[in-house]
Amino acid sequence: MSKRAASSRRAFIETLGAGGLMLATRPVFSIGTAANDQVRLNYNESPYGPSEKALKAIRDSISDFDGRYYDDTYYDNLSNVLAKHHGVVRENIHVGAGSTEFLKICDDIFLRDRARLVVAEPAYEAVIQYAVNSKADATKVALTPDYRHDLPKMAAAVNRDTGLVYICNPNNPTGTIVRKDEMQAFMERIPESVPVVVDEAYSHFANDPGYESAIKYVKEGRNVIVAKTFSKVYGMAGMRVGYAIARKDLIERIHPFTVDYTVTGMAANAAIAAINDQQHVDRVVKQNATQRQNLFDEMKRLKFEHTASQANFVMINIKKPVVPVIQEFEKRKVLVGREFPALPTFMRVTLGTADEMKKFFVAFQEIFRA
């Protein structure tokens, strides 16, 4: 290596090191209140960012120039760590570019021959869009009066044309959960020939004792695919890391539809560090629960209905069309979630830091006093 090249490399790493100090104190994969001083409570991402251990893994990966070659080692290491973490075997795991990659793939695979999707309304809308792209029909089942999946009606909607059932637990956008007894009763009614995809993007935030991961059904050998992500509690949305957990034969069906090397070495190393940093996860979950309860208390005081969310966002019934209210919040530099046609008077609010939520409450009272 020439002296000039060596000097440039050292300068690059020194710059990265200086930036690393900034990374440790400020979230880098969620948009915070810097730059234009906006409070962003509209994307369901973590305001706390990745753990310091994950950030160190990113810095180390760059300084070691780990991105020079394709390398299955990163992918295999992450898959092995995930298998151990969830108590399954390596063959039950497939890593990809966020959990949405697997939601799309499941639509592509399972709606080819039986082109009917059964889904709650509202739920994560991308799954319905992927079904439309596959020229499938979506049977939308309205939520219960308390804004939860109506699993008995969803089970009744399954017929010989159903290629896939999708359950988002906790649900996006309502944050409500399917309880384990409800899931058990549902699974007993669903034919083994019908795959069930359970999206658990927000599972870490659920502290209701009635909540249970659907991974138990994978371990029982059921026709279930569980989608997980590092975008939420781990604060790594910008790294695009997710994974599917399923029976070996289902993973083998999924594999040909995936794109090779969508997860970089840097992202895989960061994900391994993140999943091994339980202290960071516990801190984020605790802070989220505190801000969620504060929001519940404030809405009760102000007499606004809200969903019984177990996620990192809450839907508030503002009793009027939501779009003009969203615009009023934006004028006050607070961004909240978009309109959901099935619940047109409900506003989705992502839970931010304590300071961000104070700004939200100030804006909320200004708007609703007017």
Q: What is the pLDDT of residue 239?
A: 86
Place 25 in a pLDDT band, splitting at 50, 70 and 90. Answer: very low
Q: What is the pLDDT of residue 23?
A: 33
Place of tokens 């279930």: 224
Question: Three-state SS for 141?
Answer: strand
Distance CA 43, CA 40 (A): 7
Could you give all domains of the chain from N- to C-terminal order, each with its CATH number?
31-51+278-369 (3.90.1150.10), 66-275 (3.40.640.10)
Q: What is the pLDDT of residue 65?
A: 59
- Nearest CA to 264 out of 27, 68, 53, 106 is that of 68
Distance CA 245, CA 83 (A): 9
pLDDT at 173 over 80: yes
Q: What is the pLDDT of residue 32?
A: 38
Q: What is the pLDDT of residue 30?
A: 37
Place of tokens 């959901």: 340
- Rounded to the nearest integer, the mean pLDDT of the chain is 88
Please state, for a pLDDT cut of 90, what percent of the chain lies above it: 76
- Side by side, the strands of the sheet bearing 116-121 are 93-96, 242-245, 224-229, 196-199, 164-168, 116-121, 137-142
Q: What is the pLDDT of residue 258?
A: 85
- Per-residue pLDDT averaged across 127-140, rounded? 91
- Nearest CA to 299 out of 335, 333, 346 is that of 346
| C-beta of residue 155 within 8 angstroms of C-beta of residue 136 | no
| C-beta of residue 198 within 8 angstroms of C-beta of residue 227 | yes
First to last CA, the chain: 67
pTM score: 0.87
Q: Which has more pLDDT, 166 or 29?
A: 166
Question: Three-state SS for 306?
Answer: strand
- Nearest CA to 75 out of 59, 93, 89, 56 is that of 93
DSSP 246-266: --HHHHHHHGGGSPTT-S-HH
